[in-house]
């Protein structure tokens, strides 16, 4: 028979275990109720599930040295500072080379001959024409210096070029006479401003110039919009379309709107007014589709929207650049069927000023990868979750330098806020963990 003190001690232990079990069960019930309350809002549901997927990217070396590999099972994707396909990926390309890269050439076919039009590599103001597979140019034109550097050139279906420049945009016609190409003199697009600009502000050079011209491949025309600079009290907003070099006002329903972007599977383009109203235009018919968007946004308005398209063909409408705290934590996916729209919610803690979306060709479900500020997010089970945060003081250099290569690899340039100590990393499909700084499991 056990002594009395021992039996008393055992009894106390049993009572303590029972009390703890009851308390734990009660706490679990309360916690479950709290989580069920959060789950009523999609963004909150994403937020409380972050612990399932959060990886801190502190393993990225600041000094370029090797660091300890994360102790996880090899997944499908990894971030690497090296790449075995260095020749294919041109991994040695420097940031300066990226910044000064020339626009892609365009091709024009005329009477069974193919001509390439490109920017002269020694003179960013000069356009040249070469017969395909020939070395020497057969025609050239030097654009006015005040227009700035050439960013992009696009050819329409009737041999007109839209030349996108840093200051002034131009239209240039390519003429063919006796099977010999030549350039007609360039046509300067009108100088327009994002906001009304008085003569005094113009003299003081305080106007916000926006050569807000865009080429629509679907509609095969250029759109330009903004406030004209002339006149003392004139604040008229202008919106033009240019078809084969001919300028005319856009249809009245689009007079207050600006071009947002093409939607190929809808066979047209989207336009938006400052109020947030959204219009679809197929070149002939205009249809306001604001209600379609409002139903999905539930009272929120996305202003100054843009379109981003991934390599898989997914198309998104949202505020992707120059974001502020007042911009909603949601963007919209446009779907092919009958103007269908689906909301994509960002986590509540997302406070970055920009974001850029990608999909990987190896992913049959085409789940999203999102980069913004110092965060990597991923679409997991149809919800956006933060999966990586860069070390304190490190950020992705710029959305303009997040590039996806033909094989799907995403080039990442990481540095501090002053763009010092810039380093290249690559998000790649993982075949070996040897060079991985961090590994993302396949969800």
- Give 436 or 357, the one with higher predicted confidence: 357
Cα(82)–Cα(282) distance, rounded to whole angstroms?
Answer: 46
Burial 162-198 (b: 16+ CB within 10 A, else e): bbbbeebbbbbbbeeeeeebebeebeebbbbbeebbb
Q: Which fold has domain 102-188?
A: Thrombin, subunit H (2.40.10)
Backbone Cα Rg of the chain: 28
pTM of the full structure:
0.77
SS3 content of the chain, % helix, strand, coil (to 5): 20, 35, 45
% of residues, the chain, pLDDT over 70: 73
- The string of pLDDT tens digits covering residues 112-171 is 899 999 998 888 899 999 999 898 999 999 999 988 889 899 998 789 999 999 888 999
Question: Which tens digit of pLDDT belongs to each residue from 256-272?
Answer: 999 999 999 999 999 99
Provide the pLDDT for residue 210. Answer: 58
Q: Averaged over 228-245, what is the pLDDT?
A: 80
CB of 242 closer than 8 Å to CB of 224: yes
Smallest CA-to-CA distance from 425 within 440, 433, 434, 435 is with 435
Minimum mean pLDDT among 53-57, 74-78, 389-393: which range? 53-57
Lowest mean pLDDT among 23-37, 67-81, 334-348, 395-409: 23-37
Domain extent listing, the chain: 102-188
> How high does pLDDT run on average in the chain?
78
Q: What is the pLDDT of residues 33-73, one digit of tens each?
A: 222 222 333 332 333 233 333 445 444 333 333 433 433 33
The answer to whether 47 and 349 have CB atoms below 8 angstroms apart is yes
- Span of 80-89, 141-150, 280-289, 401-410 with lowest mean pLDDT: 80-89
Answer with the residue of higher pLDDT: 285 or 412.
285
Q: Which residue has the higher pLDDT, 304 or 67?
A: 304
More reliable by pLDDT, 424 or 60: 424
């Amino acid at each position: 028979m056990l002594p009395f003190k021992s039996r008393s001690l055992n009894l106390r232990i049993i009572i303590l275990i029972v009390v703890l079990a009851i308390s734990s069960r009660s706490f679990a019930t309360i916690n479950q109720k709290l989580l069920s309350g959060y789950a009523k809002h999609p963004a909150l549901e994403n937020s409380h599930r972050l612990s399932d997927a959060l990886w801190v990217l502190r393993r990225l070396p600041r000094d370029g040295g090797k660091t300890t590999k994360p102790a996880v099972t090899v997944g499908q994707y990894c971030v690497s500072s090296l790449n075995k396909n260095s020749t294919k990926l041109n991994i040695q390309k420097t940031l300066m080379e990226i910044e000064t890269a020339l626009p892609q050439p365009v091709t024009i076919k005329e009477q069974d001959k193919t001509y390439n039009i490109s920017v002269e590599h020694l003179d960013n103001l000069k356009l040249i024409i070469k017969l395909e597979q020939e070395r020497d140019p057969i025609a050239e034109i030097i654009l006015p210096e005040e227009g700035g550097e050439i960013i992009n050139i696009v050819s329409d279906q009737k041999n007109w070029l839209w030349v996108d420049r840093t200051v002034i945009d131009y239209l240039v016609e390519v003429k063919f006479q006796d099977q010999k190409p030549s350039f007609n003199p360039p046509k300067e697009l009108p100088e327009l401003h994002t906001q009304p600009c008085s003569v005094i502000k113009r003299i003081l050079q305080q106007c916000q110039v926006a050569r807000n011209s865009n080429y629509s491949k679907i509609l095969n025309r250029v759109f330009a919009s903004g406030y004209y600079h002339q006149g003392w009290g004139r604040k008229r907003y202008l919106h033009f379309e240019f078809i084969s070099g001919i300028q005319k006002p856009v249809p009245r329903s689009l007079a207050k709107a600006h071009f947002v972007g093409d939607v190929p599977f809808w066979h047209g383009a989207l336009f938006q007014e400052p109020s947030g109203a959204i219009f679809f235009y197929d070149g002939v018919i205009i249809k306001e589709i604001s209600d379609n968007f409002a139903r999905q946004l539930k009272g929120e308005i996305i202003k100054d929207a843009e379109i981003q398209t991934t390599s898989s063909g997914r198309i998104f409408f949202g505020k992707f650049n120059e974001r502020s705290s007042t911009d909603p934590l949601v963007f919209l996916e446009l779907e092919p069927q009958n103007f269908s729209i689906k909301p994509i919610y960002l986590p509540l803690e997302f406070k970055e000023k920009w974001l850029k979306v990608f999909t990987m060709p190896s992913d049959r479900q085409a789940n999203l990868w999102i980069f913004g500020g110092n965060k990597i997010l991923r679409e997991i089970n149809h919800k956006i979750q933060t999966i990586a945060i860069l070390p304190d003081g490190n950020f992705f250099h710029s959305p303009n330098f997040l590039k996806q290569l033909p094989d799907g690899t995403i080039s990442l340039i990481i540095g501090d806020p002053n763009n010092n100590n810039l380093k290249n990393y690559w998000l790649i499909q993982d075949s070996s963990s040897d060079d991985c700084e961090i590994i993302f499991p396949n969800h």
